[in-house]
Amino acid sequence: MKWRPLLLSPLLFIFLVSISTVFHGLVLSHTIPEERDHQHSNKMRLELIHRHSPQLIGKLVHEASNNNMPKSQQERILQLVLRDTTRHRMISHKRGQYGPNSRRKNWEFNTSIEMPMHSGADYGAGEYFVQVRVGKPAQKFMLIADTGSDLTWVYCSTRNTHKRRQGNHRRVFHADRSSSFETIPCLSNMCKVQLADLFSLTTCPTPITPCAYDFSYIDGSAALGIFADDTITVGLTNGRKMMLDNVLVGCTESTQGAAFKGADGVLGLGYGKFSFATKAAEKFGGKFSYCLVDHLSPMNISNYLIFGGTRNEHSLLGNVRYTKLLLNVIPSSYAINVKGISIGDVMLRIPFEVWDANVGGGTILDSGTSLTILAEPAYKPVMNALGMSLSKYKRLLSDIKPFEYCFNSTGFDQSLVPRLVFHFADGARFEPLVKSYIIDVAPQTKCLGFLSVRWPGTSIIGNIMQQNHLWEFDLVRSVVGFAPSSCTCT
């Protein structure tokens, strides 16, 4: 473990701080020599494992996380809904508080939380896990892949903390065993300015004290630790490994409130200067993609998060269409410009403000939200139109909250359901599979898989809606391409 310069004259110190800042701007990562020449022909591949997947069993250390698996489909869906609700609230608060007048440490507001949250699994960080290797030599972790946040962090012990951790059975990153671990001084511009949005703290008892964070979540839980740069080792599609150097990694020394049960930390895949997604994408032509299979009826097919061009990685079942990504419009998120929804080729009457991020609306694509969430003025017409088309099936009024429209699916023929299409402002159309919005909730019971939020509010195209499509995010051109796919690799 390398702590930044210990005994320095103030001038030399300031010089080094500036150098390290420049360094941060320029040298994002470097490849190990033999890979350097082929960096664009290779792709980096991380397997995405859904939190309900049997593949996850045994991979998480925390014993409680493994028997947290839902016992029935209904329980499974209700768990998803619970986390979606929390996550939506987090995204909304993040939006509100990143306004022009407020920038840092303003999670301190009194919100009413309707739901108790007892585990990290519930805090809304995301639905997929990835295995990531941190440090040199590499230490392995299962992190939650979160497309809604920028900070990558792992439970961690430094020489200051590891004594206290004895007896704790969680998997931790031993920072002192990593030769590439480098803290960031609290006096640096990096700490004071650039990391402010990631909740860096202003306290700085000595110039070389590592830059600390207090990353708070709205349920009152928090991850506290110090920022560092370290190496992350990733697998390539050709079977080799590549090291990404100087990736910003939070070394979380403690958490407060609800524990982040199950996961060893979070992989920040949001759009932000220091997110893992941005850094890794820079190395691989600015692109990353994923293709998610149906996790409501799990098959033994792996989902992958791939950095690099993916056109020939997945078997596509249709043309790739593109729409503009609105980066920096909604913090950390991948916003897209939806302008309408049609059902059975009839455009629904939805006020255009719903789609306008500048007036509190807007839509994001989010892999960490399961269901699709619509602001109320969009939710109502969608539910009405789909409900009408299902009127020949027996509506079930016994409540499967929060679903408003469920029906007895005996004899259901999805080919007779009018198709729902999202229309983007630039003309692209996204036509999800029927099973992505008429979902199985219990035996012989299907429900319209939408949640509503009050206006003004952010609409979210969740991971169930995105299933069976390849989504390729191009951060250089600010577009997202999508195409129907079986999500099996070629």
Nearer to ligand NAG, 74 or 161 (CB): 74
| Interface map 367-396 toward ligand NAG (x if CB under 6 A) | -----------------------------x
CB of 409 to ligand NAG, least distance (A): 8
The residue among 166 and 300 lying less far from ligand NAG, judged by its C-beta, is 300
Identify residues 137-196 at the interface with ligand NAG (CB under 6 A): none
Name which position in 72, 297, 408, 414 contacts ligand NAG (CB under 6 A): 408
- Min. distance of Cβ 413 from ligand NAG in angstroms? 15
- One residue of 119, 161, 237, 444 binding ligand NAG per CB under 6 A: 444
HEC states along the chain? CECCCCCCCHHHHHHHHHHHHHHHHHCCCCCCHHHHHHCCCCCEEEEEEECCCHHHCCCCCCHHHHCCCCCCHHHHHHHHHHHHHHHHHHHHHHHHHCCCCCCCCCCCCCCCCCCCCCEHHHCCCCCEEEEEEECCCCEEEEEEEECCCCCCEEEEECCCCCCCCCCCCCCCEEHHHCCCCEECECCCHHHHHHCHHHCECCCCCCCCCECEEEEECCCCCEEEEEEEEEEEEEEECCCCEEEEEEEEEEEEEEEECCECCCCCEEEECCECCCCHHHHHHHHCCCEEEEECCCCCCCCCCCEEEEECCCCCCEEECCCCEEEEEECCCCCECEEECEEEEEECCEECCCCHHHHCHHHCCCEEECCCCCCEEEEHHHHHHHHHHHHHHCCCCCEECCCECCECCEEECCCCCHHHCCCEEEEECCCCEECCCHHHCEEEEECCEEEECEEEECCCCCEEECHHHHCCEEEEEECCCCEEEEEEEEEEEC
Binding residues for ligand NAG, total number by CB under 6 A: 8
Nearer CB in complex with ligand NAG: 407/473: 407
Closer to ligand NAG by Cβ: residue 33 or 109: 109
Which of 445, 458, 466, 467 contacts ligand NAG by CB under 6 A?
Answer: 445
Instruction: Single out the residue of 410, 413, 415, 490 in contact with ligand NAG (rule: CB under 6 A).
Output: 410
In whole angstroms, how close is the CB of 484 to ligand NAG at the nearest point? Answer: 24
Comparing CB distances to ligand NAG, the nearer of 81 and 396 is 396
Residues 244 to 273 in contact with ligand NAG, rule: CB under 6 A: none
Q: From the list 22, 40, 54, 315, which residue makes contact with ligand NAG (rule: CB under 6 A)? A: 54
Task: Restricting to residues 88-117, name those near ligand NAG by CB under 6 A.
Answer: 110
Active-site residues, by number, are 146, 366
Minimum separation from the CB atom of position 298 to ligand NAG (A): 8
Binding mask 298-327 for ligand NAG (x = CB under 6 A): --x---------------------------
β-bridge mates for residue 47, sequence order: 304
- Residues 64-93, one symbol each (x = binds ligand NAG by CB under 6 A, - = not), give ------------------------------
Q: How far is the CB of 396 from ligand NAG (least distance, A)?
A: 6
For ligand NAG, the closer of residues 161 and 444 by Cβ is 444
Residues that bind ligand NAG (CB under 6 A): 54, 110, 300, 396, 408, 410, 444-445
